[in-house]
Structure 1
Amino acid sequence: MTGEPADPQARPQAHLRHHRPVRRMAPRSRDEPHRTATPLELFFDLCFVVAVAQAGRQLAHDLATDRIAAGLYGYAFVFFAIWWAWMNFSWFASAYDVDDVPYRLTTLVQITGVLILAAGVPRMFDQHDLVLSVVGYVVMRLAMVTQWLRAAACEQGPARTVALRYALGIVLCQVGWVLLLLVPHEAYPYLLPLGILAELSVPVIAERPAQTTWHPHHIAERYGLFTLIVLGETVAAATLAVQTALDEHDALGELLPIAAGGLLICFAAWWIYFAEPIHDHLRSNRVAFLWGYGHYLVLGSAAAIGAGLEVAVEQAAGPAHISATAAAAAVTVPTALYLFTVWLLHSRHLKHGAAQAVLPAASAAVLACTAAGDHGVLAAGLVTAAAVAVGIVLHTREA
């Protein structure tokens, strides 16, 4: 191996990549070697996790004050907006990232949009005021429209049709969200699902003429990195909750089991997700879209674990207005959902024999830990750690 690029044009293109401020937005190759996430994509993820943290904080507040239905509804809607904007950018970047000045500036506009959305999250939860959140979301999505129009200008044939369909579909959806602000709050529960279905249908309709040239390894890495950052935010939220409780209530004995169980859950969540690479499974739009859409539950449950740990800490320290069983459920339910959806999207395609049953069984066992009340979080942590250990043993035997 000489280390030379397989493509003779790769070296001059790499040179131009760093010196031309504006470049033609040509599609990237699905077979491009060594395709990895860029610093801009990592910065994008870190800024998006600010909105994730806001959503998790509001969810924890509502759960701790026994406003479960309102908290879950608000969290599901806000997390969809965050996840969907993140996902659309990631798939577009996988196909068309040129990393020039216009591309970078447009991406920074999208980041501005998510920060506006994050600022509006408390208003949406507490006052059902969607104005600021919708403004932030529309800023993100209209910036995405300019990217697709730029791609369309450099494409022809079916690929151009795909880009134009994306642009038109996104614009129509944003018109719908703006019109939503004009209707009474009482209509939101009926209209929000329609808007979400419209957003979800755009890629399915847009890519009928042809498939964009997203890169399987790059997409798998992007989802993995965002999952990693969300898990990091979960650990940070739980740590802050423990610190605050210790400062205000000095309840070390009650908090240690929750802290230990929470760490075990987060460590196991990381281990299980990254146990096997998934990129070879992403062979078509049908498979990849189902996998990508399913990550709404993976990422949403991962972030909700942090909110649940905050609730468990508050309940143990005294100020929460819910029972110990309900506080345990705030952790065990999202943990069980995370384990099951990771199995559904990842492990069942990669495991064989008895290993197939590990995560579904662990998911059921974690739910059963809810009955342990004050010790439910620690019990759930031990179950997830045991699931990792059993998986390692079975993998070793297969090898």
Structure 2
Amino acid sequence: MATEPTEQAEPTDRRDIVQPTSVPARREVTPLELFFDLVYVFAIGQLSHQLLAHPTWTGAAQTLVLYLAVYAAWAYTTWAVTLVPAEDPRTRRMLLTVMLLGLFMNAAIPRAFGDAGWVFVATFLLIHLGRTVWLLGVGLDARDQEHWRRVLVWFAAAAPFWLTGAVTDGGARLLWWSAATLIELAGTWTAHPLPGRRLDSRQVGFAGGHLLERGRLFMIVAFGETIMTTGTALTSAPYAPMTLLTSGVALAGTVALFWLFFSRSEHIVRHYERTEDPIRAGRSGVYSLMVSVAGMIAAAAGDERVIAHPAHHAGLTTNLLLFAGPALFLGAQTWHGRTLFDDLPGARLTALSALVLGCAVTTKAPAYLAALIAAAIVVALAAFEERRSPGEAAAKPVASGPGP
């Protein structure tokens, strides 16, 4: 993913320095980009059902590996459209191609660790490698070309692990695909380094505002998929008072998470518009979005389990979904705010502590009670922040980081 950390080291060869491409901070998100998102929102439902069907540590690890691959396909493609706008006919063709491949990839999720492993991997690699090769052929400036060549090297290094996993079975597939995922995550986190290649990310033109808006709109449709999951569980359960209670609790928790995500978003938008290093802000946003959506998947799976069996003991599995899902969501948003501003809200830290404590003390309680407590924590936090003005937290100074 072209998510560069802040880099202050000079290029090893100063002849490579070029002026950054002029890229607007904000531009409208096109209908095609929203249409493209629908294929990946479909994947959120698939992943929730995958987690529900395999509520074990192994099942959770499988779901995580599949989720990281799906998210990478969406995020790298979204990043590409910040470099070559969707209005460009070449970009429209690329998006439609990735959308078609993504449909097959996401449809293979439930059987990715069965007989459809090759479908998942083949479509994923076609998206990942093909889009990167496409970017290298659309006339990016010298600095972006250099970065995407390094990205391609890292993707190619992970590809043999994906392919080997596709032709193995059982636990071996999970090991191979986990190794591939770790390689890609390491490349992303370190900005895809190769020996002797260093840049200053603040000199690179980048539509950070557009990436932020894409992330916000993706979250809206992701929340929509979460509500659909609750609605589907409701239609499958008997219409009894307990079903109505647990469905209402699930919806209240989702609405509270929605509010917590968007309540301070305009403050973040202003930071993206003013920052001298939008790539640094974009990198933070991409990671926080990745963890936030993972938290939503877990919470949606927990809500579905509670609606189906409200009177059963919650147990460790259900509690981890109910409490760890919102904790991941809040933790990611808190970290994102901390990387951008000198601001660490004490209320969010208190809520995170309450979620950990609630998870620990309600494992033997009825599932509906555990769900009620988890939802009450996030609703209370949302109500508190509604009354608290976010103010104008100061942007953090740009910190130095590793060069790519």
TM-score tier by shorter-chain length is 0.7 to 0.9
Aligned letter for 2:22?
S
Change (3 A) 1:296 1:112: same
- The equivalent of 1:260 in structure 2 is 248
Paired residue for 1:383?
377
Instruction: Tell whether 2:185 aligns with 1:196.
Output: no
**Pick from 28, 51, 57: which aligns with 1:36?**
28
- How far apart, in 2, do the equivalents of 1:210 and 1:147 lie? 24
2:327 maps to 336
Letter in 2 for 1:141: H
Q: Distance in 2 between matches of 1:208 and 1:45?
A: 33
Matched, 1:140 2:127: yes
Structure 2 portions without partners, runs of 5+: 1-19, 394-404
Do the aligned partners of 2:237 and 2:307 also contact (CA within 8 Å) in 1? Answer: yes
- Aligned AA (1:193): S
Selected match of 1:357 from 303, 325, 346 = 346
- The corresponding residue for 1:177 is 162
2:82–2:206 Cα contact (<8 Å) kept? yes
Tell me the equivalent position of 2:101.
113
Deviation at 1:303, TM superposition (A): 2.0
Contact 2:292 2:332 in 1 (8 A): yes
Does the 8 Å CA contact 1:110/1:141 hold for their aligned counterparts? no
Q: Is the 8 A contact 1:255 1:316 kept in 2?
A: yes
CA positional deviation for 1:311: 1.0
For residues 340 and 206 of structure 2, the distance between their equivalents in structure 1, rounded to whole angstroms, comes to: 21
> Contact 1:28–1:94 (CA<8 Å) still a contact in 2?
no
Tell me if 1:85 matches 2:79: no
Match of 1:21 in 2: none
Select the structure that is richer in helix.
1
Q: Distance in 2 between matches of 1:344 and 1:59?
A: 26
Which position in structure 2 is the counterpart of 1:157?
142
| The one of 178, 192, 196 aligned to 1:205 | 192
- SS of the residue aligned with 1:395? coil
Contact 2:281 2:340 in 1 (8 A): no
Letter in 1 for 2:302: G
- Name 1:11's counterpart in structure 2: none
Cα gap change, 1:169 to 1:213, in 2 (>3 Å): farther
Which residue of the partner structure matches residue 305 of structure 1? 299
> Is this contact kept in 2: 1:162–1:210, CA < 8 A?
no
* Secondary structure class of the residue paired with 2:112: helix
TM-score by length of 2: 0.79
> How far off its partner does 1:184 sit?
5.2
Alignment of 1:44-63 (within 5 A): 44-63=36-55
> Using the alignment, how far apart are the partners of 1:201 and 1:306 within structure 2?
29
Q: Secondary structure at the match of 2:225?
A: helix
Counterparts of 1:28 and 1:46, CA distance in 2 = 30
Shift of 1:229: 1.4
Q: How does 1:364-379 map to 2 (within 5 A)?
A: 364-370=353-359, 371=362, 372-373=365-366, 374-379=368-373
The amino acid that maps onto 2:347 is V
Change (3 A) 1:184 1:62: closer
Higher relative contact order (CA 8 A, sep 6+): 2
CA displacement at 1:98 relative to structure 2 = 5.0
Bigger mean CA offset, 377-386 vs 71-80: 377-386
Q: Post-superposition shift, 1:286?
A: 4.2
Q: Out of 221-230 and 369-378, give the one that drifted further.
A: 369-378
CA apart distance, 1:225? 1.3
Counterpart amino acid of residue 29 in structure 1: S
Residues 316-364 of structure 1 show CA distances to partners (whole Å, capped at 9, x for unaligned) of: 27xxxx7324434422221122122211113674585xx7111121122
Contact 2:234 2:307 in 1 (8 A): yes
Q: Is residue 252–residue 379 contact of structure 2 (8 Å, CA) maintained in 1?
A: yes
State whether residues 343 and 359 of structure 1, in contact with CA within 8 Å, keep that contact through their aligned partners in structure 2: yes
Could you report, residue by residue, the CA deviation over 1:95-135 in whole angstroms, capped at 9, with x for unpaired residues?
2225333321221111112111122111125x375212112
Q: Would the aligned equivalents of 1:57 and 1:307 in 2 still touch at CA under 8 Å?
A: yes
SS at match of 2:22: coil
Distance in 1 (alpha carbons) for counterparts of 2:340 and 2:149: 34
1:215-364 mapped onto 2 (5 Å cutoff): 215-246=207-238, 250=239, 252-277=240-265, 278-279=268-269, 280=271, 283-316=277-310, 323-326=313-316, 327-346=318-337, 349-350=340-341, 352=343, 356-364=345-353
The aligned amino acid for 2:137 is R
Please give the alpha-carbon distance, in whole angstroms, between the structure 1 residues aligned to 2:152 and 2:329.
Answer: 33
Question: 5+ unaligned residues in a row in structure 1: which ranges?
Answer: 1-26
Aligned counterparts of 2:158 and 2:90: Cα–Cα separation in 1: 24
Alpha carbon RMSD of aligned pairs, Å?
A: 2.8
Q: What is the TM-score when the length of structure 1 is the normalising length?
A: 0.80
User: Aligned pair in 2 of structure 1 residues 194, 210: CA closer, same or farther (>3 Å)?
Assistant: farther
Q: How many residues align?
A: 355
Is residue 264–residue 390 contact of structure 2 (8 Å, CA) maintained in 1? Answer: no
Contact 1:94 / 1:218 at 8 angstroms: preserved in 2? Answer: yes
Residue type of the partner of 2:221?
A: I
Name the CA distance, whole Å, in 2 between partners of 1:90 and 1:143. 14
Q: Is the 8 A contact 2:161 2:177 kept in 1?
A: no
In structure 1, distance between residues paired with 2:26 and 2:212: 13
1:306 to partner: Cα distance: 1.2
Q: Counterpart in 2 of 1:9?
A: none
Distance 1:108 1:397 in 2: 41
Distance 1:157 1:339 in 2: 39
